[in-house]
Structure 1
């Protein structure tokens, strides 16, 4: 059980999952989270590259239970140059635009996730009154390793950011690429277009850019693949884990080959 000193400095509600989700989102937006590799950079500070934005968007998908996709289509990272300039710029104007995006898009997605969770979050009694001995007063939202105290979301988060990390580096041969494609099934909770493997491996340009593709063109292709195919499926996976109404992810809708 938490000590008196700890209780005075840390207030946790009887529904601690809500406090943990709030702390997760605070790190996503304002503080960053360097417990993860690659780390989650805080949204308000901006990003150095589009790849960093993609990494952040994936983390946001998990920590908003997919609601970020309802406010901000991942495809905008490929088709909206002004948006990308605002996200990666270091000028005062870019910072102002990020604040507007935060207010109009990101915060509403975070609130939608909170409202979704509050309908499912269990209210607990102090440990001495709980049959399993769990005491919500012992929970430290800043140290909880599972997003919203959901172990399944922690596993999903790890699989997704590892999938992106493997994609960035490319693959040494076709078998390695196909193993990665197979690993996308649990990383997307089955939301990925089931034909994506066949479509990519049948396309010479795709194979060239995925396998031993060290050129700038290959790197850009892999980023477009992540944005157009993976991110929408990642968001759908996070939504389905939360128990939301899952719809068929249209992973090809904004995807341009080549």
Structure 2
């Protein structure tokens, strides 16, 4: 049965597709965040419902969720919630799979449904209906299972990859001050120009923080880098996800097209 006014076609009991495939891709991306995960992505996305194997994968999920909810994950999980001893982070890790942790994760999944819907509503203004393009492809030729670009937009994939790479670099630590300075300089793209003003000066002006960023060996230094990622880097990443306006869209073959027909 087809509802022409809504641009939605029911294909079966478990699959509903719109004639705007970019929305189908976004919906599928959000489902992976909450329930299924995505091993194709690097680092892989572990689903929130199952919990995370370590704090870095939890941080990676939070970053990926920012892109796939256009920053609205923050309505449910704020950066301070991801801090050690916050009362939430411990429940997100699979090291604690007790009844309370399972319940906390289930409630977060349920509460994030509204944040996902908000992102969907905001993005639908940019996701035009697709009937047939110049190559003769229709909306049904796009497979949300195969599409590798979040929101079917290369700009969002580039943002996602750049943010993930920046977090990996920070997690490892830096060889010297030049490497650190180049990393801070590289944050312009993954923050969409929203990195904190004076960030490098603030780091250099704090000897304990500078030492932790340059120490690649000590576990305590890694904890400091994690806290820095959550408190300083992630807010800028979330803002970038809210402000990015990707223009081109892709089909599942990876070809790019103008945004007016997807």
TM-score w.r.t. the length of structure 2 is 0.83
Aligned partners of 1:27, 1:155: CA distance in 2, in Å? 19
**2:241 aligned partner:** 238
**1:151 aligned partner:** 154
Are residues 1:197 and 2:200 paired? Answer: yes
**1:73 aligned partner:** 78
Q: Where has structure 1 moved over 4 Å in runs of 4 or more?
A: 7-11
How many Å apart are 1:131 and its aligned residue? 4.0
234-243 or 53-62: bigger deviation:
234-243
What are the superposed Cα offsets for residues 84-112 of structure 1, whole Å, 9 maximum, x if unpaired?
A: 122112112211111112212x2111111
- Residues paired across the two proteins, number: 233
RMSD between aligned alpha carbons? 1.9
Superposition map of 1:60-139 within 5 A: 60-78=65-83, 81-88=86-93, 89-104=96-111, 106-125=112-131, 127=132, 130-131=133-134, 133-139=136-142
Are residues 1:160 and 2:176 paired? Answer: no
Aligned partners of 2:141, 2:215: CA distance in 1, in Å? 49
**2:186 aligned partner:** 183
**1:29 aligned partner:** 34
Q: Which has the higher helix share?
A: 1
Match 2:56 to one of 51, 57, 62: 51
**1:253 aligned partner:** none
109-118 or 54-63: bigger deviation:
109-118
Aligned partners of 1:79, 1:52: CA distance in 2, in Å? 14
How many Å apart are 1:115 and its aligned residue? 1.1
1:185·1:191 contact (CA, 8 Å) conserved in 2? yes
How many Å apart are 1:80 and its aligned residue? 5.2
Match 2:44 to one of 18, 39, 48: 39
Are residues 1:171 and 2:174 paired? Answer: yes
How many Å apart are 1:78 and its aligned residue? 1.6
160-169 or 94-103: bigger deviation:
94-103
**2:4 aligned partner:** none
Gaps spanning 5+ residues in structure 2: where? 1-10, 247-262
- Aligned to 2:101, the other structure's residue is in SS state helix
**1:249 aligned partner:** none
TM-score w.r.t. the length of structure 1 is 0.85
1:32·1:40 contact (CA, 8 Å) conserved in 2? yes
How many Å apart are 1:75 and its aligned residue? 1.5
- Aligned to 2:187, the other structure's residue is in SS state helix
